[in-house]
């Protein structure tokens, strides 16, 4: 089984990159499942409104994971309980709508898809991601477990990955928007990358145009930020191939293409 996983799709340009180029990767790799992080798609790089969700589904994305901006646009509350292919982080401390993990079938395999928020530097109130992962993995039956760990620090990602490597088949990081070059199969058991990186405008402050961010960081002047909307486009993803007999990853490919 081949699984294509796309990192944070950022804003209008991210959507446009998916619309133009996803078909190329579909035709070349022929993935059985396409998952993308959708928490930065809508206005200002925050949340995923229904119109954008429909748009990305039409482009070929099968499942969505989310992150700290999931509920930034309240419109998502109107539909998140009605769709069966979106996973928001399962460790919010506050009660929120939507599902924290999903179990579904692909080619006769039971896939468990999870999404967790990191506890470090996240500025959001979360339950312990280690304990939340333990609980989900212990209470569910699955052939292949996939975890999007939406977290800020490389160390927190690596430590949780090591902790879960006997139970999770694909562990990948999102949220920093910069792809790390460490994709590998850990102990022949788990595909791992610290961060897949974003799909959006490469030369930007992780998706936001430089002008106002520079003024803020240099001079302390806080003004409205805008999505970067011109320049080199980057498509960041990974492809993981899973052995049909063992349900373990046997080949990983890192994708970081510019257009």
Q: Which one of residues 37, 42, 47, 68 is an interface residue with Fe ion (CB under 5 A)?
A: 68
* 7, 14, 38, 67: residue in contact with Fe ion (rule CB under 5 A): 67
- Nearest approach in angstroms of CB 151 to Fe ion is 9
Binding segment toward Fe ion, per CB under 5 A, in 57-65, 67-75, 108-116, 160-168: 67-75
Q: Which stretch binds Fe ion (CB under 5 A): 65-73, 95-103, 120-128, 217-225?
A: 65-73
Catalytic site positions = 69
- Contacts of residue 161, Cβ cutoff 8 Å, sequence gap at least 6: 149, 168, 171, 186, 190, 192
> Taking a C-beta distance cutoff of 8 angstroms, is the pair 32, 199 a contact?
no
Beta carbon nearer to Fe ion, 150 or 209: 150
175 in contact with Fe ion (CB under 5 A):
yes
CB of 223 to Fe ion, least distance (A): 21
- Rounded to the nearest angstrom, the gap between the alpha carbon of residue 133 and the centroid of all alpha carbons in its chain is 16
> Quick one: DSSP state of residue 113?
E
Written as one string, the DSSP assignment of 54-106 is HHHHHHT--EEE--TTTTSSGGGGGTGGG-SSEE--TTBSS--SSBSEEEEEE
DSSP-H helix ranges across the chain: 11-29, 50-59, 129-139, 154-164, 210-219
Give residues with Cβ within 8 angstroms of 229, minimum separation 6: 11, 12, 13, 201, 209
The site for Fe ion, by CB under 5 A, has a size of 3
The span of 112-120, 121-129, 171-179, 243-251 binding Fe ion (CB under 5 A) equals 171-179
Which of 175/202 has CB closer to Fe ion? Answer: 175
Query: Could you tell me the smallest distance in angstroms from the CB atom of residue 51 to Fe ion?
Result: 21
Q: How far is the CB of 172 from Fe ion (least distance, A)?
A: 14
Of 157 and 175, the one with the shorter C-beta distance to Fe ion is: 175
C-alpha angle 78-99-128 in degrees, rounded to nearest 5? 125
Do 101 and 114 touch, CB atoms closer than 8 A?
yes
Output the smallest distance, CB 81 to Fe ion, in A. 22
Residues 5, 31 contacting (CB under 8 angstroms): no
Site string for Fe ion, 184-203 (x = CB under 5 A): --------------------
Residue with smaller CB distance to Fe ion, 67 or 197: 67
**Binding stretches for Fe ion (CB under 5 A):** 67-68, 175
């Amino acid at each position: 089984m081949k699984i294509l996983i796309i990192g944070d799709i950022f804003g209008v340009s991210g959507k446009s990159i998916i619309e133009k180029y996803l078909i190329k990767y579909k035709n070349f790799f022929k993935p059985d499942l396409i998952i993308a992080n959708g928490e930065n798609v809508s206005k200002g790089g925050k949340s995923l409104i229904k119109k954008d969700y429909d748009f990305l589904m039409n482009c070929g994305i099968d499942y969505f994971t989310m992150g700290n901006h999931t509920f930034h646009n309240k419109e998502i509350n109107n539909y998140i309980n009605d769709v069966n292919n979106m996973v928001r982080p399962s460790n919010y401390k506050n009660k929120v709508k939507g599902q924290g993990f999903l179990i579904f079938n692909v080619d006769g395999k039971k896939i468990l898809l999870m999404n967790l928020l990191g506890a470090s530097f996240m500025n959001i109130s979360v339950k312990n991601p280690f304990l939340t992962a333990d609980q989900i993995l212990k209470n569910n039956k699955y052939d292949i477990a996939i975890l999007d760990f939406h977290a800020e620090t490389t160390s927190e990602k690596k430590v949780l990955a090591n902790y879960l490597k006997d139970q999770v088949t694909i562990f990948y990081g999102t949220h920093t928007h910069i792809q790390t070059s460490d994709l590998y199969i850990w102990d022949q058991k788990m595909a791992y990358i610290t961060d897949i990186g974003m799909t959006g405008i490469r030369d930007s402050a992780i998706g936001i145009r430089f002008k106002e961010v520079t003024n803020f960081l240099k001079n302390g002047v806080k003004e409205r930020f805008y999505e970067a909307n011109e320049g080199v486009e980057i498509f960041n993803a990974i492809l993981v191939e899973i052995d049909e007999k063992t349900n373990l990853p046997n080949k990983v490919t890192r994708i970081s293409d510019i257009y």
